[in-house]
A and B are shown apart, each in its own frame.
Chain A
Amino acid sequence: MHNTSFPNLGVGIGLRVPHYRHILEKKPVCDWFEIISENFMVDGGRPLAVLDQILEQYRVVQHGVSMYFGNADPINREHLKKLKRLVKRTNTPWLSDHLCWGSVNGRYSHDLLPIPYTMSVAKHTAQKIRQAQDFLEVPICVENVSSYAEFKQNEMTEWEFLSEVVERADCGILLDVNNIYVSSQNHDFDPFDYLRAVPHHRVGQIHIAGHRRYDDIILDTHDHPVPDPEWALYAEAIQHCGHVSTLLEWDDRIPSFDEVHNEALKANQFIHDHDLVPA
């Protein structure tokens, strides 16, 4: 799989409830929207009615939070079937979820928990991504998560683990530069080392977002504009990966649609600068 499997859709934002009315009434220009799959994996009602209206006007890509490829538990078939019904509805060109685990023995944390980075876990995780990809019949991108803990059991770095998994699964990467930055601060590594090490030809999408800095830790809160050090990472990512669909996530203390959209559109400046650099 190469990033030609992931067409460049431009710069989009995450579809969120406070913006529904504005989007449906004003139909603002926006390259694409990312939806959280789980919010629409329902059997009826307002979520699906809104989604169908959005689909009439916009390109939509699905982003999930509950596939948990890193779970020791096997992949949940019923969950995959529901997801596939949604894939058929949205016609999503690819689908993303996180490189994380989240439930064990049938109990759910509803969190994106870090995986222990070992070769055997990489093989196990890659196998589950392959199963999902085969069943869903749509390319998958896995996203690196923000983390606050590293396991003592780790045998490799996160970027080595990510690379190992995506090569074995033959899948794409949703590179979240905010998450790279947050984890680099929390675990004392150089985010540029991470950025340079991942297989760039597999990057199908980039996430940008804001976070919150506390005394001892940075939390991945998605409730701020994108800070400057992260834009620097983004610029470097574009240098390596070329034109890649870019999406701003804003999940809490959500400002107006225009404010969120304008923040996302700042990405165009870096894409433009990249185009000016001679090959």
Chain B
Amino acid sequence: MINYEIVIIGGGPAGLAAALSARKAGVENILILERDAELGGILNQCIHNGFGLHTFKEELTGPEYAWRFIERVQKENIAYRLNTMVLNISKDRIVTAMNRDEGIIQIQAGAVILAMGCRERPRGALNIPGFRPAGIFSAGTAQRLVNIEGYMPGKEVVILGSGDIGLIMARRMTLEGADVKVVAELMPYSGGLKRNIVQCLDDFNIPLKLSHTVVDIEGKDRVTAVTIAEVDENRKPVPGTEERYTCDTLLLSCGLIPENELSVNAGIELSRITNGPVVTDRLETNIPGIFACGNVLHVHDLVDFVSEEAAKAGRSAAEFVQNSTAEKQSSEPVVLKAESGVRYTVPFTVDPGTMEDLLKVCFRVGAVFRDAYVSVYFNDERVMHMKKRILSPGEMEQVILQKKKLLEYDDLKTVTIRIEAE
């Protein structure tokens, strides 16, 4: 069996940043395993710009952002294997992987960092009975076809779902000569960034129909038309509001979901809300020595936050293999709770004794709030109260907790984040 101090599953932005920070913390033996033929993950197909504003203070395209990290990984001589699919991770951190040259390989890891990213929600989102003609693609698949393979999936397009990938593809296919007729969104708001709505739809006069869904798809071999209709508060189509669009392609952009089959097999506890592992402030899962970061942990909209989170996972894993945290552990971690309007927090617990000086707690809200307050409670006492002009489900929010404040507070059991009207 091969031995490595840290094995990282996935060579996307999360895996790359985790590797670099673990190296910076002094770990020599690091291995990245990537199932694709190149490093960079999903960024390779995101050829649009808008990445890295926070980290590099300039707007990069996906491949450029990825390259900044790949270059450093290569300079640092961090080992990686491409075309290598991880099949299993055991509780005692034996990683089983497979590639063409070596067949099945087994690696004993001192620590494991999960950085497998996410995948698109399956078509189940489309609740229409009957057969499925050709011409229905997920937006991410269409993105790969157009941007990597240079193949246009169709000429007349209807898009269901207004997540960022759908919006980006509306512009991309329009620029390549397709006629994008409409984007239908089931919810009364779009999950996509404002900037994408303006620059991908408004710029090309593509209508965005909120509270609408697809009710009928026509076509035997290939899609020939799609009918959309307005939905009521219960998301049921309203009769009489149907509009029919002739088209040869239907793109589905119905959200992303963390890729956690491997985690489940390893016995890692997942959150029902994020679909990612339940982690401590050090991004450690319930299995000691297995850490998680990036889209496998929770879906991010900005890659900058992915890199930042991953750097922390790298530091924590380094500490774990250098064995410096074990003795500092205090007995009961403080539980982070999401309530009234807050859907989840990451992390889920914090240990004031071993936490870093500042902890960024990420969270998402469940609906759009205007002129509301983000409040933080220590036990039952409100300790932070911040006014926000707008909070929306599409944008990840953060509050920062100070180690000093947590340590000072007597008998701290819970930290709760709530959205309050006043």
Task: Say whether A associates with B.
Answer: no
Residue positions of B touching A, CB distance < 8 A: none
Residue positions of A touching B, CB distance < 8 A: none
